[in-house]
Amino acid sequence: MKFRTKEFTSLLLASCFAVAGISGIVLYVTPKGRVANWTNWTMLGLDKHEWSAIHINVCLLLLITASVHLVLNWRVFSSYIKRKAAGLNLKVEMAAAVLITTGIVAGTLFQVPPLTSTMTLNEKIKAYWEQRAPSGPAPHAEEFSVVRFAGNVGLSVDDVTTALRQEGFAVEDPEVSIGELAKQNGIAPSDVYLAVKKHFPEATGDLHAGEGRGLGLGLGQGGSGGAQTGQARGKTKDRVDAKDRARGWDWARVEAAGTAIGNHAKIHPVANIDNREEYH
């Protein structure tokens, strides 16, 4: 049996187009990434990452197949554009195709109605999913380790792991991410948070990622008369958790140490290899 390459590429092109169209529609109606990840959003049994992977790979195959199809049918395609006797062919049709494509691209970039309606509808769909989704303590909290998650919601690691174990969730490693922990237990990351809040309703995540009980070092400012003293500011949370005191964590002393370091952090001139003075 002879393999018909042209017919094969036509069928493959149609198949890729169908799958790319379906996956594109699904991605159009998906929630935002942080909502999809937090709630384990799925469509037809596939999550957003899987739909994205399918769409990217199928579109790549579509591009390759279209190129092969064009090469195999180049003689027919070129006859649409140019004829030996008459020169350029289908001039009006070619101009119309170019103008329509250019108009769609330009109208989208310059946000010309009604082309903006597609993105407006997309934003409304994403807002719909976000309103229905349970809120988390911080954006992309599923990427937090159990240790970071505990600090973010104002609890100790023992509090979080104990609460989860009481709800039947196995926590073997506190450095595992909330997303991976949820996957291991066959639940959504949002369910992990709800399980913790069941035992600790005050775990609202008011300490945002990157804030709280850290030391902040100030930057020195060099003046025209020489180096000036760098200032360091220790930033602490106003409210010190009672459990931290029980563990001997005295954040006031940490802040005092940070202030002392800042008061002694001076910028001294040093000579470089060219005997020119610089500051460090």
| 3-state DSSP of 45-103 | CEEHHHHHHHHHHHHHHHHHHHHHHHHHCHHHHHHHHEECCCEECCHHHHHHHHHHHHH
Residue that wins the pLDDT comparison between 197 and 223: 197
Q: How confident is the model at residue 232 (pLDDT cuts 50, 70, 90)?
A: very low
Q: What is the pLDDT, as a whole number, of residue 225? A: 38
What residues form DSSP beta bridges with 82?
Answer: 88
Residue 94: pLDDT above 60? Answer: yes
Q: What pairing do the DSSP bridges indicate for beta strands 277-279 and 269-271?
A: antiparallel
Residue, of 88 and 187, whose pLDDT is higher = 187
Looking at the DSSP bridge assignments, the partners of residue 234 are: 215
Alpha carbon distance 4, 140 (integer Å): 50
Please report the pLDDT score of residue 109 as a whole number.
94
Give the pLDDT of residue 276.
40
Instruction: Decide which of 235 and 211 is more confident.
Output: 211
Q: What is the pTM of this model?
A: 0.66
pLDDT tens track for 245-276: 444 455 455 455 555 555 544 444 444 434 44
Residue 88's beta-bridge partner residues?
A: 82
CA-nearest of 240, 145, 160, 227 to 193 is 160
Q: Is the pLDDT of residue 1 over 90?
A: no
The distance in angstroms from the start CA to the end CA of the chain is: 78
Mean pLDDT value of segment 87-100: 84
CA 124/CA 2 separation, integer angstroms:
52
Q: Which two tokens stand for residue 123?
A: 């934003």
Query: What average pLDDT does range 202-226 have in this prediction?
Result: 47
Share of the chain above pLDDT 70, in %: 71
pLDDT of residue 36: 93
pLDDT band at 193 (very low <50, low <70, confident <90, very high): very high
SS3 144: coil
pLDDT by residue (tens digit) across 36-51?
999 999 999 999 999 9
90-99, 106-115, 170-179, 255-264: the lowest-pLDDT one: 255-264
Average pLDDT, the chain: 78
- The answer to whether 205 touches 136, Cβ cutoff 8 Å, is yes
Residue 142: how many other CB atoms lie within 10 Å: 25
What is the arithmetic mean of pLDDT over 76-97?
78
